[in-house]
Chain A
Amino acid sequence: MKKLLTFLFTVATFGAIVSCGSKTEEPVVAEPETKVAIVYSTGGKGDKSFNDSAYRGLERAKEELGISYSEYEPKDPSTEAKNQLAAYAESGEYDLIVGVGFTINDSLLAVATDFPEQNFAIIDSVVDLPNVASLEFKEHEGSFLMGAVAGLTTKTNVVGFIGGVQFPLIQKFEAGFEQGVKYVNPDAQIVSVYIGGNNGFNDPAAAKSKTEAEIQQGADIIYHAAGASGQGVFQAAKEAGVYAIGVDSNQDDVIPGTILTSMIKKVDNALFDVIKNVTEGKFEGKSVIFGIKEDGVGTTDFALSRGKSVSEETIKRVEEISKEIADGKIVVDPIPASAK
């Protein structure tokens, strides 16, 4: 009898917890036409990077297309994110389920295989299934423009690159930057260092000492693709009185005056386009790549550096190069020279 009671109590408690849990994830808006669910990457909303950008895309879709959405911020991209994706898919309520970031790739692949009738989208990665739209970016094209800015602005003819972890996605940044610098300034030298280890994207102190080593080698402009570690790059540049270039979203105002511009990845535009396709019944489970031509990557507006740290001529030249890439006159290779 006692056992039975304990059992019933346990079931009741779990039931209560589960129902509480699912309640908070219900969308508030009643009966709109299209419903979207999103599982963010581990950085979560407020990262001033691509999660925030995805969020802006959703908000825009809500305003302009009248959709409603549910969102979830997982702490780990494997078990937790996977369970949440599966829960969204199982409910059958959503017209589109979005996963943010390449770390969620395996989870989304597994869930999308189990639910072939459900539409998915993944940002920054490719899942090769007919029900998944993969949104990729030509980071190397945007980084080429950063390289051009750096190559035209450097006084020492040495520029630096700091990467989070050395794998293909981050090497695309290095490759584009390298080619951009060489394109406008063949004599310039590029010093590149990766932070590496388990915490490459979350170790600003390591990023700082590595940036200082590059500055010691004469680098006077440092471009980073290292997530939160980039804060260490900015601090080192500020202390040494040299310049840095931001990444992913507009980081120009993190330390005003120190940051020349940022390589922006317009995740919001890409996500908005996919949602628009869904509302029009034109969803396609294929890979879409956003480069300069598709307005997926680009520079900031140079609001804080125009005419000060970056000259008008430089900005004009970079705009020309941007056009040439869009027209296909310049082709940027996504693999850095050191990896060939």
Chain B
Amino acid sequence: MEIILFLLIQTLIIAPPILITATGACVSELSGVTNIGLEGMMLIGAFAATVISISTGNPYLGILIAGLIGGLVSLLHAFISITLKGNQIISGVAINLFALAITSYLIKTIYGQAGSTPRMENLANRNLILIVIYVLAFLTYLFINKTVLGLRIRAVGEHPLAADTVGISVYKIRYFSVILSGVFAGIGGAYLSVVNLGIFTNNMSAGRGFMAMAAMIFGNWNPLGAIFASLLFAFGDAFATYIKTVNSSIPQNFLTMIPYVLTLIALVGLIGKSRAPKASGRPYEK
């Protein structure tokens, strides 16, 4: 019983960075813009939160600024993808590479050391931020499925021309959705640095932005599905670690596979036909 409780708590603690980023990814993709730059936006968010937290001593301000910076970086992605009609994948990859380089460069210029920042004094209250993130993710689900704006976002991603003819501004809706995904990714990154660890280290997002994309697809482009997918990944991770701590003779690589095997089983058995938004990844031309 104690173990089950521990695993559930671990799941709730591990999931948030992927979960919040995945719900943001859903919104962006539902509006028709693929955002694989989320990994980079998380990393920049994690870094911005650390810098603000170290210089002001206030981790909460750090989280806010991380959301803001994440939004700014995604504005760049939105500008390239929507206004310039550039290739969304290339823009996203470029942002990921840029994020990796700029953060490690800034560590050197700001703190005169490499690899990681100094440690910060105060961490944000983990339980409080956990609640905020889960509520935010669930509200996003309601927003997408129960509000007029949410319906418009989905319409723009399915058939932008039809949406445009009834007077919905495709560009405005897409800009809004992409920026929201960047804000969420920034907050997800901030969770890693100022809530969980109290330090920024190079490339600390460690692929969580891509895991978020996987959770989005696994969740069938529905924020609620993405939330469950993220929790499943986190549970698989916690479970694999637990098995390893009680039985050391199992090869580590088998255990590392557990979250992904769970995903495969769920994909084959539980999820019906998955279908991406029709206009996803394609720029809209009037």
**Which residues of A are in contact with B by a Cβ distance under 8 Å?**
43-49, 166, 190-194, 196-199, 202-206, 208-210, 212-214, 216-217, 228, 231-232, 235, 254-255, 338
Contacts and interface: CB of A to CB of B under 8 A. Distances in A.
Nearest to A217: B245
Contacts of A214: 245
Contacts of B204: 202-205, 228
Contacts of A190: 248
Given A45-B114, A191-B245, A228-B115, A209 B256 contact: no
Q: Which 10 residue pairs are nearest across A and B when measured between Cβ atoms?
A: A46-B114, A199-B206, A203-B206, A196-B256, A228-B201, A213-B241, A47-B115, A194-B252, A166-B252, A46-B113
Interface of B: 6, 10, 13-14, 17, 108, 112-116, 119, 192, 196-199, 201-204, 206-207, 237-238, 241-242, 244-246, 248-249, 251-253, 255-256
Nearest to B118: A254
Contacts of A191: 245, 248
A193 B244 contact: yes
A157 to B, nearest CB: 15
B119 A255 contact: yes
B198 A235 contact: yes
B252 A196 contact: yes
Contacts of B192: 205
Contacts of A192: 244, 248
Contacts of A204: 197, 199, 201, 204
Contact of B245 (A46, A196, A198, A213): A213
Contact of A232 (B197, B237, B249): B197
Contact of B246 (A46, A217, A254): A217
Nearest to B108: A46
Interface of A is mostly: mixed
28 contacts: A46-B108, A46-B112, A46-B114, A48-B113, A166-B252, A166-B253, A191-B248, A192-B244, A192-B248, A196-B252, A197-B206, A199-B203, A202-B203, A202-B204, A205-B204, A206-B237, A209-B13, A209-B237, A213-B10, A213-B238, A213-B242, A213-B244, A214-B245, A216-B245, A217-B246, A228-B115, A228-B202, A235-B199
Contacts of A212: 10
Contacts of B10: 209, 212-213
Nearest to B239: A213
Contacts of A202: 201-204, 206
A254 B248 CA distance: 29
A169 to B, nearest CB: 15
Nearest to B14: A209
A171 B283 CA distance: 50
A338 B248 contact: yes
Contacts of B6: 213, 216
Given A194-B252, A205-B204, 18 more contacts: A47-B114, A166-B253, A193-B245, A196-B252, A197-B256, A199-B207, A205-B14, A205-B206, A209-B10, A209-B14, A210-B241, A213-B10, A213-B244, A214-B245, A216-B6, A231-B201, A235-B199, A338-B249
A190 B245 CA distance: 9
**Chain A CB within 10 A, most for which of B115, B119, B249:** B115
A205 to B, nearest CB: 5
A119 B10 CA distance: 52
A319 to B, nearest CB: 30
A216 B115 CA distance: 30
A320 B110 CA distance: 44
Contacts of A47: 114-115
A202 B114 CA distance: 13
